[in-house]
């Protein structure tokens, strides 16, 4: 048991060392209710009904947090985060925005008059709760958080409602128009290129279409938004009314009014609201502290850093609502390290930190020249086939994009390559390039997609985060137009030896493209400007060298434990008085598991220079006694001495004993001679003389000694086993059924061998079931039965007074009825 | 028959590593393991060169397998990737799993221990030789893979799947690190098998139990629902050597994995020693 306990302790130590996750706290159960929001519409002042869950923490009054969900979601989507925040001590109000789920009203895309008014009404409600801490009556201490649609709501609310004290906005927009109609040319025309796939996905997720329900064109959208959408996707246009709607729903309109500290987190893997949108928010919020995080997730999937972001927003609220410890205002960037073993593996994230947020263009710029041959590309009629870069909404599939792009569409792509990098480089932000473009026809809208790709040593291209920069050029003719292109902001490490490529393509299936064909002539002007950033590893965990040191300490500890637990043989001293006695036992007993006592209180001594027979029926305990004498089995109690030395496992005195117990044992793949040789060399007596010739003569194997043991008969193995026991001519020979499998002449020979052996002053203990054999060979016998010693003495004494009886008859008399001699 | 006194006994001369190595080297399973390590790279090269699509394999992939034919270092690393998951695991389990159990099944265990080979000395020789044979298999695999790839694919230095290429000395360094790391990771199946070998007298049982445990650990490791709990599994770090393939060596996971493997082996071997100390030898 001690051994097992030691092992368990070591394992526990090991597991504890690797870090055990903390158990979750008790759940805080929410209370669901319908709360009054803002007016239903411009013409109907009745309040909409907002479906909300309120979480009250254990200790109140406490600061409150308003949680807004993403587009197409509901309060259920934020329940887990609400739970976490409530457990951390905040009153949390998670609600479903108007037009979604159980809430009434129509979707107005975070309009200040409606969704923002709803949120303000919820802040009113929080201010009325006794469980919420307040600054002044009606002004609760309250933060607001959300992602995507909810993130924009959070920013807009902070702009319109001065009572907001902290904001967390994830993967959201700054300007809805530039998000959906992207334009990457500096000072390029607006609107840009419609992200048709994303826009359609976005809109359809707001339609609330469910199987079996009646379908409608506008679903739960307001009429204005529905019209704006139809206008955009059917004609690719933005009417003044649509532009005004989008502007009102954009944080851009109120960013200068925000005074509450804002945590802006943006996803690198986001072709809907790319890092540039978060960058615009960060640059425009000038009246409040801002912390910017570029994490590895986003609308395209990437690597979700949910746990880290939740911990960060909790810390942010904690600092600004509960005077918790300060969160560093450093810029945090997730660097995705791809897996070398599989490009299906999303890779791992390392978080870097820079003291200040440098914006889109890094804290330093590296110029790299590109080969600039003028190239012609085709914009195919109908805009198809189109390149596939990102797959909106595909999540994990997004990593596939890099692969798909490995094969650029021929004729539709112009590439401008740098020389191989001399040293590796970390690009953090938007690269910039200048290109000139002309068309083969006059005065037509042109759409191009620019990207920065990494080209490996084997020529394969990868597109960081699958992002492209769409460009729309109005009325492009044969006259070349020069454009400054701002490429997508990415975080990527480019290895030394790899090249970069500025790639201009004419198609991308995620966007609305002109239907007319055209051939464009494209040239790169000047170098590509690459943003770089000195970052340090932010999460300083355990340094790598600490692990091996810890391991060595634990290994040493295990070593120590094992050394300390070495089996002791306390108080079992040698018995010099028995130094001439080959074998002596004293009260020897062995109880096996289950309580079976195989040997029970056996005491006898074997005088030197004799052959002693060990007799007993099946199960008498003969073999167990022999094994205990050889240190193979530990006695439960009692002792054994060989030549006065106490026997324990591996006792050196065992070297004076040759044994043959329960059949021979050899390595079947080696010859008899090799077996004897290796056994002798393994026995620690190699400096002495094995007397190999004499032993081989006794074995009588002849030339078979050089055959593999695998080919031996039972009798040959038996003889080889006895030969092995006699190697080095030990002072005591213990033989268990040595004559099994031998023929009569060999048996007689064996009898002579034992006789001669004893005559030289050595001792032989032999167990045999052939009682006549024993009678002829042995001068002494030990008789056992049921684990008890029945007789120990000379054969002569045993037979004395039983005149005329054979040993067999006396034996049967001793062991009683119902027993037969070993067969 | 002349009779002399018994020979002098020296405990530290019992079952030396040299003798144990001789006893194990000529076994068929040893030769089979070595043969597999020689054959695997040859078979893969033959498949790549002679197969119906002999353009190489993993075309279009930006990972290690996709670059396997780039040169001898890349090919050798790919061989290590192929074999570290299962083949080398089984071989390590075999070499350490039948150490004690096979002696028990041959009935040689009782004769060696009664010789007497002290029990801890017996385990020491068994463990060292088991580890040595495992390491030899690994080295043979690496050497054969490298040489055949050098002949067939040329001598281009290591191309990283993460981008960039290395010079020759860095290629050797990275190959050395990966080989050493994989060797250390084999301590996990080896340790489990070694303990099993002490607990059972059936050699196949010990090897099989070790392999089954490793497979179960790998299955658990593949269950996403277990999340970060998987970081507690010693086998979670099996592929951490990919950290040696970037421009900068990412030591973190390798440090954890190697340490974890060392500790796992030490604990399992420690339990094996303590158990064997007190075991009644009934075989």
Question: Between A534 and A721, whose confidence is greater?
Answer: A721
Q: Dump pLDDT digits (tens) for B34-60.
A: 999 999 999 999 988 886 654 544 444
- Please tell me which of the candidates B108, B161, B245 has its beta carbon nearest to residue A666: B108
For chain A, helix (H) and strand (E) counts, in that order, are 20, 35
Q: Dump pLDDT digits (tens) for A253-262.
A: 999 999 999 9
Residue B232's pLDDT band, with cuts at 50, 70 and 90, is confident
Partner-chain contact A686 B13, CB within 8 Å: yes
Q: What is the pLDDT of residue A344?
A: 66
CB within 8 Å of chain A, chain B residues 61-90: 61-64, 66-67, 70, 81
- Please tell me which of the candidates A10, A551, A634 has its beta carbon nearest to residue B278: A634
Sign of the C-alpha dihedral, residues A251, A257, A260, A266?
positive
Candidates B237, B252, B227, B257; CA nearest to A21 is B227
Residues B63 and A344: their CA atoms lie apart, in Å, by 9
Q: Dump pLDDT digits (tens) for A217-239.
A: 888 899 999 999 998 888 888 99
Residues A463 and A403: their CA atoms lie apart, in Å, by 9
Question: Between A535 and A250, whose confidence is greater?
Answer: A250
Q: Are B237 and B260 in contact (CB under 8 A)?
A: yes
Question: Between A12 and A353, whose confidence is greater?
Answer: A353
Q: What is the pLDDT of residue A553?
A: 96
- Give the phi and the psi of residue A554 in degrees, each rounded to 5: -65, -40
By C-alpha distance, the chain A residue nearest B277 is A567
- Please tell me which of the candidates A21, A663, A729 has its beta carbon nearest to residue B229: A21
Res. A21: pLDDT tops 50: no
> In A217-260, where does DSSP find H-type helix?
223-235, 240-248
Residue A538's pLDDT band, with cuts at 50, 70 and 90, is low
Q: At what angle do helices A714-726 and A692-699 cross, to 10 degrees?
A: 150
Res. A600: pLDDT tops 50: yes
Residue A13's pLDDT band, with cuts at 50, 70 and 90, is very low
- ipTM score of complex: 0.92
State the average pLDDT for chain B. Answer: 89
By C-alpha distance, the chain B residue nearest A759 is B3
State the average pLDDT for chain A. Answer: 88
Q: What is the pLDDT of residue A408?
A: 64
Which chain A residues contact residue B275 at CB under 8 A?
Answer: 3
Find out whether the peptide bond into A536 is cis, omega within 30 degrees of 0.
no
Tokens for A510, please give them.
């995620």
Task: Tell me how far CA of residue A601 lies from CA of A574, A636, A784, A790, in angstroms.
Answer: 20, 10, 11, 11
Candidates A644, A638, A642, A645; CA nearest to A578 is A644
Q: What is the pLDDT of residue B1?
A: 38
The number of CA neighbours under 13 Å toward the Cβ of B237 is 29
The number of CA neighbours under 13 Å toward the Cβ of A697 is 9
Taking residues B115-122, what's their average pLDDT? 94
- In the three-class reduction of DSSP (H, G, I as helix; E, B as strand; rest coil), residue A725 is classed as helix
Res. A173: pLDDT tops 90: yes
Taking residues B84-88, what's their average pLDDT? 89
Which chain A residues contact residue B274 at CB under 8 A?
Answer: 3, 6-7, 562, 565
Q: Which of A132-141, A466-475, A503-512, B242-251 has the lowest mean pLDDT?
A: B242-251
Q: What is the pLDDT of residue A466?
A: 85
Sign of the C-alpha dihedral, residues A663, A664, A669, A671?
negative
Q: Dump pLDDT digits (tens) for A129-150.
A: 999 999 999 899 999 999 999 9
Taking residues A767-783, what's their average pLDDT? 85
Residue A570's pLDDT band, with cuts at 50, 70 and 90, is low
Candidates A277, A331, A531, A354; CA nearest to A429 is A531
Q: What is the pLDDT of residue B121?
A: 95
What share of chain A has pLDDT > 70, as a percent? 92
Tokens for A811, please give them.
């034996």
Q: Is B160 touching A (CB cutoff 8 A)? A: yes
Tally A–B CB contacts below 8 A.
282
Q: What is the dihedral of CA A712, A713, A716, A722, to 10 degrees?
A: 100
Q: What is the pLDDT of residue A593?
A: 87
Residues A323 and A522: their CA atoms lie apart, in Å, by 56
Q: What is the pLDDT of residue A2?
A: 42
Which chain B residues contact residue A566 at CB under 8 A?
Answer: 120, 277
Residues A559 and B178: their CA atoms lie apart, in Å, by 27
Q: What is the pLDDT of residue B275?
A: 95
Partner-chain contact A659 B111, CB within 8 Å: yes
Whole-structure pTM value:
0.80
Residues facing residue A265 across a β-bridge = A170, A293
Partner-chain contact A634 B280, CB within 8 Å: yes
Q: Is B117 touching A (CB cutoff 8 A)? A: yes
Q: Dump pLDDT digits (tens) for A576-598.
A: 899 999 999 999 999 998 889 99
Q: Which of A722-726, B84-88, B161-165, B249-253 has the lowest mean pLDDT?
A: B161-165
Please name the residues in contact with A222: beta carbons below 8 A apart, sequence gap of 6 or more: A41, A106, A107, A108
Q: What is the pLDDT of residue B54?
A: 47
Residue A10's pLDDT band, with cuts at 50, 70 and 90, is very low
> In A371-512, where does DSSP find H-type helix?
400-404
Question: Between A251 and A810, whose confidence is greater?
Answer: A251
Residues facing residue A455 across a β-bridge = A461, A499
> SS in 3 state form for B162-214?
CCCECCHHHHHHHHHHHHHHHHHHCHHHHHHHHHHHHHCCCHHHHHHHHHHHH
Which chain A residues contact residue B11 at CB under 8 A?
Answer: 650, 652, 684
Q: What is the pLDDT of residue B252?
A: 85
Q: What is the dihedral of CA A223, A227, A230, A236, to 10 degrees?
A: -150
Taking residues A661-665, what's their average pLDDT? 92
Which chain A residues contact residue B27 at CB under 8 A?
Answer: 669
CA A308 to chain centre: 17
Which chain A residues contact residue B110 at CB under 8 A?
Answer: 627, 630, 632, 661-662, 665
Res. A823: pLDDT tops 80: no
Question: Between A457 and A530, whose confidence is greater?
Answer: A530
Which of A459, A583, A684 has the most B C-beta neighbours within 10 Å, making it the best mutation to test the interface with B? Answer: A684
Q: Is B2 touching A (CB cutoff 8 A)? A: yes
Q: Find the radius of gyration of the CA atoms of chain B.
A: 21
Q: Dump pLDDT digits (tens) for A727-770.
A: 999 999 999 988 888 888 888 888 888 899 999 889 999 988 77
């Amino acid at each position: 048991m001690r051994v097992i306990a030691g092992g368990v302790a070591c394992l526990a130590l090991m597991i504890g060392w690797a870090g055990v996750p903390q158990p979750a706290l008790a759940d805080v159960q929410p209370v669901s209710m319908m709360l009054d929001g803002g007016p239903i519409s411009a013409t109907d002042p009745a309040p909409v009904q907002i479906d909300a869950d309120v979480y009250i923490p254990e200790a109140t009054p406490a600061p409150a947090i308003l949680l807004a969900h993403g587009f197409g979601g509901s309060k259920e989507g934020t329940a887990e985060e609400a739970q976490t925040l409530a457990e951390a001590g905040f009153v949390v109000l998670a609600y479903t925005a108007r037009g979604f789920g159980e809430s009434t009203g129509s979707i107005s895309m975070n309009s200040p008059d409606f969704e923002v008014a709803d949120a303000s009404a919820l802040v009113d409600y929080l201010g009325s709760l006794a469980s919420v801490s307040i600054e002044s009556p009606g002004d609760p201490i309250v933060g607001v958080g959300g992602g995507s649609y909810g993130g924009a709501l959070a920013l807009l609310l902070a702009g319109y409602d001065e009572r907001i004290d902290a904001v967390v906005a994830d993967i959201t927009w700054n300007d809805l128009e530039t998000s959906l109609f992207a334009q990457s040319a500096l000072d390029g025309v607006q609107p840009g290129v419609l992200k048709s796939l994303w826009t359609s996905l976005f809109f359809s997720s707001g339609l609330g279409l469910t199987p079996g329900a009646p379908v409608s064109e506008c679903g739960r959208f307001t009429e204005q938004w529905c019209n704006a959408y139809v206008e955009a996707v059917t004609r690719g246009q933005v009417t003044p009314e649509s532009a005004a709607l989008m502007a009102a729903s954009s944080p851009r309109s109120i960013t200068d009014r925000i005074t509450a500290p804002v945590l802006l987190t943006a996803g690198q893997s986001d072709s809907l609201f790319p890092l540039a949108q978060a960058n615009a928010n960060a640059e425009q919020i000038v009246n409040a502290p801002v912390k910017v995080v570029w994490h590895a997730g986003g609308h395209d999937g990437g690597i979700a850093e949910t746990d880290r972001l939740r911990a960060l927003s909790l810390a942010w609220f904690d600092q600004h609502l509960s005077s918790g410890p300060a969160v560093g205002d450093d810029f945090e960037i997730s660097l995705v390290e791809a897996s070398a073993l599989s490009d299906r593996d999303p890779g791992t994230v390392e978080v870097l930190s820079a003291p200040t947020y440098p914006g889109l263009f890094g804290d330093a710029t590296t110029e790299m020249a590109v080969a600039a041959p003028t190239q012609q590309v085709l914009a195919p009629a109908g805009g198809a086939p189109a390149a596939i870069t990102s797959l909106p909404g595909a999540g994990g599939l997004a990593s596939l994009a890099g692969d798909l792009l490995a094969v650029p569409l021929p004729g539709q792509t112009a590439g401008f390559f740098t020389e191989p990098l001399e040293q590796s480089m970390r690009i953090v932000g938007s690269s910039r390039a200048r290109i000139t473009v002309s068309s083969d026809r006059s005065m037509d809208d042109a759409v191009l997609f620019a990207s920065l790709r990494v080209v490996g040593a084997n020529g394969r291209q990868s597109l960081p985060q699958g992002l492209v920069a769409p460009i729309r050029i109005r009325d492009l003719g044969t006259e070349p137009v020069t454009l400054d292109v701002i490429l997508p902001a990415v975080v990527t490490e480019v290895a030394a030896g790899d090249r970069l490529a500025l790639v201009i393509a004419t198609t991308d299936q995620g966007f609305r493209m002109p239907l007319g064909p055209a051939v464009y002539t494209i040239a790169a002007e000047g170098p590509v400007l690459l943003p770089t950033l000195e970052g340090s590893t932010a999460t300083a965990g355990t340094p790598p060298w600490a692990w091996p040191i810890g391991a060595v300490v634990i290994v040493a500890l295990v070593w120590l434990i094992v050394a300390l637990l070495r089996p002791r043989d306390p108080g079992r001293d040698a018995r010099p008085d028995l130094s001439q006695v080959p074998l002596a036992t004293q009260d020897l007993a062995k109880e096996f598991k289950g309580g079976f006592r195989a040997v029970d209180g056996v005491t006898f001594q074997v005088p030197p220079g004799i052959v002693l027979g060990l007799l007993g029926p099946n199960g008498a305990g003969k073999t167990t006694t022999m094994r205990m004498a050889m240190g193979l089995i530990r006695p439960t109690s009692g002792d054994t001495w060989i030549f006065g030395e106490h026997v324990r496992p591996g006792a050196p005195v065992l070297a004076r004993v040759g044994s043959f117990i329960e059949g021979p044992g050899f390595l079947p793949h080696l010859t008899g001679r090799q077996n004897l040789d290796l056994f002798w060399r393994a026995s620690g007596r190699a400096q002495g003389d094995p007397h190999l010739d004499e032993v081989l003569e006794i074995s009588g194997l002849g030339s078979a000694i050089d055959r593999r043991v695998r080919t031996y008969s039972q009798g040959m193995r038996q003889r080889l086993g006895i030969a092995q026991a006699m190697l080095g001519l030990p002072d005591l020979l213990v033989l268990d059924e040595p004559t099994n499998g031998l023929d009569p002449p060999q048996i007689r020979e064996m009898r002579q061998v034992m006789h001669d052996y004893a005559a030289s002053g050595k001792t032989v203990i032999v167990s045999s079931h052939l009682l006549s054999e024993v009678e002829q060979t042995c001068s002494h016998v030990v008789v056992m039965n049921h684990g008890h010693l029945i007789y120990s003495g000379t054969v002569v004494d045993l037979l004395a007074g039983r005149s005329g009886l054979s040993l067999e008859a006396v034996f049967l008399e001793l062991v009683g009825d119902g027993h037969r001699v070993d067969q | 028959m002349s009779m002399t006194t018994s020979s002098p006994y020296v405990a530290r001369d019992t079952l030396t590593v040299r003798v144990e190595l001789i006893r194990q080297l000529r076994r068929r399973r040893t030769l089979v393991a070595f043969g597999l390590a020689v054959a695997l790279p040859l078979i893969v090269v033959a498949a790549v060169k002679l197969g119906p699509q002999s353009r190489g394999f993993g075309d279009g992939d930006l990972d290690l397998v996709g670059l396997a034919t780039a040169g001898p270092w890349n090919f050798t690393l790919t061989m290590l990737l192929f074999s570290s998951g299962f083949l080398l695991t089984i071989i390590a389990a075999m070499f350490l799993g039948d150490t004690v159990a096979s002696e028990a099944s041959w009935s040689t265990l009782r004769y060696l221990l009664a010789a007497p080979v002290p029990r801890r000395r017996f385990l020491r020789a068994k463990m060292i030789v088991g580890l040595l044979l495992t390491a030899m298999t690994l080295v043979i695999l690496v050497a054969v893979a490298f040489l055949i790839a050098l002949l067939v694919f040329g001598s281009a230095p290591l191309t990283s799947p993460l981008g960039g290429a290395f010079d020759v000395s860095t290629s050797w360094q990275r190959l050395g690190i990966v080989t050493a790391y994989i060797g250390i990771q084999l301590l996990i199946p080896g340790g489990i098998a070694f303990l099993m070998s002490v607990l059972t007298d059936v050699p196949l049982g010990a090897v099989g139990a070790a392999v089954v445990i490793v497979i179960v650990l790998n299955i658990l490791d593949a269950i996403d629902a277990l999340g970060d709990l998987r970081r507690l599994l010693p086998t979670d770090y099996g592929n951490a050597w990919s950290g040696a393939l970037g421009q900068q060596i990412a030591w973190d996971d390798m440090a954890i994995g190697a340490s974890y493997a060392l500790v796992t082996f030490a604990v399992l071997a420690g339990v094996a020693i303590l158990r064997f100390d007190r075991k009644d030898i009934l075989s």
